[in-house]
């Protein structure tokens, strides 16, 4: 359990693959075949691309850094990531990784950073599909007027994360 609710983590031998909020909105992307039935996540039939095995030791480093982040003791994550997406999504997620702790950017800022200045809606969709909440900090992306908008964990969680980081936005500063 974290200060923003239950989290689901998944890792491969290359790094963290997913950090998802347990509470999901209808239609929200997930790496889990059936987020409500953990039994179906355990090593499916041979030939399946995904096999989930519970392992506290495999996730220990990720969990420790997340604990430090939530305690206000960590500003950057140092573990490896195994990002999986389209070229555009990967470009957007890499741009998110450059947003410093405690700062925010607009969807337009990210669109310009990835060379698609008019693509702020596409950036929003890439953020919506971000498989690594908190770590790939899409919570640091706000509307151009400084207000909070769109977040897979809900706006209350987005607000909590930005407050934890000491970010200043129009809605937080008020």
- Give the separation between CA 37 and CA 92, rounded to whole angstroms: 31
Token readout for 12 is: 């491969």
**In the prediction, which pLDDT does 26 show?**
47
- Give the separation between CA 2 and CA 70, rounded to whole angstroms: 8
Catalytic residues: 138
**In the prediction, which pLDDT does 24 show?**
55
User: Which H, E and C letters describe the chain, residue by residue?
Assistant: CECCECEEEEEECCEEEEEEECCCCCCCCCCCCCCCCHHHHECCCCCCCCCECCCHHHHHHHHHHHHHHHCCCCCCCCCCECCCCCHHHHHHHHHHHCCCCCCCEEHHHHHHHCCCCCCHHHHHHHHHCCCECCCCCHHHEECCCCCCCCCCCCHHHHHHHHHHHCCCCHHHHC
**In the prediction, which pLDDT does 172 show?**
54
Question: pLDDT class for 150, splitting at 50, 70, 90?
Answer: confident
**In the prediction, which pLDDT does 31 show?**
54
| pTM (2 d.p.) | 0.82
What's the mean per-residue pLDDT of the chain? 84
Question: For residue 1, is pLDDT > 60?
Answer: yes
- Give the separation between CA 83 and CA 130, rounded to whole angstroms: 9
Residues 118-135, mean pLDDT to the nearest whole number: 94
Question: pLDDT class for 40, splitting at 50, 70, 90?
Answer: very low
Question: For residue 44, is pLDDT > 60?
Answer: no
Question: pLDDT class for 56, splitting at 50, 70, 90?
Answer: confident
Closest C-alpha to 132, from 152, 104, 157, 115? 152
């Amino acid at each position: 359990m974290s200060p923003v609710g239950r989290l689901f983590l998944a890792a491969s031998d290359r790094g963290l693959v997913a950090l998802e909020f347990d509470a999901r909105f209808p239609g929200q992307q997930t790496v889990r075949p059936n987020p409500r039935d953990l039994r179906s996540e355990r090593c499916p039939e041979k030939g399946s691309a995904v096999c989930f095995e519970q392992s506290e030791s495999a996730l220990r480093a990720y969990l420790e850094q997340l604990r430090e982040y939530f305690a206000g003791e960590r500003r950057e994550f140092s573990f490896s990531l195994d990002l999986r997406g389209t070229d555009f999504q990967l470009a957007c997620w890499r741009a998110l990784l450059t947003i410093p702790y405690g700062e925010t950017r607009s969807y337009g800022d990210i669109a310009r950073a990835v060379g698609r200045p008019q693509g702020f809606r596409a950036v929003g969709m890439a953020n919506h599909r971000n498989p690594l909440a908190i770590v790939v900090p899409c919570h640091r992306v706000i509307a151009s007027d400084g207000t909070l908008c769109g977040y897979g964990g809900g706006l209350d969680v987005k607000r909590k994360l930005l407050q934890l980081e000491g970010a200043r936005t129009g809605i937080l500063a008020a």
